[in-house]
Homo-oligomer: A and B are copies of this chain.
Amino acid sequence: MQELTVVKIGGNIIDNKEKLNSFLEKFNTIKGAKVLVHGGGKVATDLSSRLGIEAKMVDGRRITDQQTLEIVVMVYSGINKSIAAQLNSFDTKSIGVCGADLNLIPATKRVKGDVDYGFVGDILPDKIPVNDWDTLLASGICPVVAPITADVSGQLLNTNADTIASSVAQALSRLYSVKLIYCFEKSGVLRNPADENSVISKIYTKEYIKLKERKIISDGMIPKLDNAWEAMKQGVNKVIIGNALHIEKLTAPAHETGTLLVLE
């Protein structure tokens, strides 16, 4: 099986032009098939507030109403095109897409119990068209993916970028040996959250449960890590969590930094 690297970057990189450029230069050097999934960053919130659009909350949950959706689609697609343009100016032949393009990530509008979350998408993982992804990858194209999907009627939906990365990595495990790299602002999962040098190099399932119980793994990390474990269970070959600015070390054959997840 050929190798495929799926990298997810978030707001800490997206919102900082210098860091983004430095990351993209390094991402460019990753060999073989690759996919870059990016989050949204603060630009959407900033633009909303400049336009006087208030965040709409129901039961403490943020709702993506029509106005917010329009802003989110514009902002994320704009970031998406900037990243693709930058990669194309290097050696990476890239195309900026969202889940709606080629229906690459089919989704459905989330409604849970009595709460209508607005235009938020839940991915339908079994419907991901693996062959269409492969058409792009086999042509040497790196898809850059914005966190937007669409439902069967073509309605655009705001969708979690971590879940996109994990769903795509899982689906493509049928055709590729997939390495999934979750980037965030820390160097990895830290034994001591205050100490960047306390990166846990390998984390085993049992240890993860203990670290959760002892609250050493922070609340914000838990959904990310749960996504990551799920990806491993569904056939992703390797999941590594670390800092985007060390991407060349995270993707090295023996990862030289970051946290590798190990299923038991």
Judge whether A29 is part of the interface by a CB distance below 8 angstroms: no
- Return chain B residues, CB-CB under 8 Å to A180: none
Complex Cα spacing A152 to B88, Å: 8
Q: Provided the pairs A93-B102, A96-B97, A141-B102 are in contact, do residues A154 and B85 lie with their beta carbons within 8 angstroms?
A: yes
**A13 to B: closest C-beta gap in Å:** 16
Interface-centre pick from A82, A86, A93, A98 (highest chain B CB count, 10 A):
A82
Q: Provided the pairs A135-B139, A139-B135 are in contact, do residues A100 and B85 lie with their beta carbons within 8 angstroms?
A: yes
* Chain B binder among A68-76, A167-175, A222-230, A248-256: A68-76
Judge whether A148 is part of the interface by a CB distance below 8 angstroms: yes
CB-contact partner of A101 in B73, B95, B154, under 8 A: B95
B156-A81 in contact (CB<8A): yes
Complex Cα spacing A156 to B132, Å: 27
Complex Cα spacing A74 to B82, Å: 10
Judge whether A89 is part of the interface by a CB distance below 8 angstroms: yes
CB-contact partner of A88 in B73, B87, B135, B150, under 8 A: B150
Complex Cα spacing A86 to B151, Å: 10
B139-A86 in contact (CB<8A): no
Complex Cα spacing A73 to B90, Å: 21
Judge whether A16 is part of the interface by a CB distance below 8 angstroms: no
B97-A154 in contact (CB<8A): no
Which chain B residue has the least Cβ–Cβ distance from A104? B95
- Return chain B residues, CB-CB under 8 Å to A57: none
Complex Cα spacing A98 to B101, Å: 13
**A33 to B: closest C-beta gap in Å:** 15
List 6 A-B pairs, minimum CB-CB distance, nearest first.
A89-B154, A77-B77, A74-B78, A85-B100, A74-B74, A85-B150
Q: List 14 A-B contacts (CB under 8 A).
A: A51-B51, A70-B78, A73-B82, A74-B75, A77-B81, A77-B96, A81-B101, A85-B100, A85-B156, A87-B154, A88-B103, A88-B154, A94-B101, A135-B141
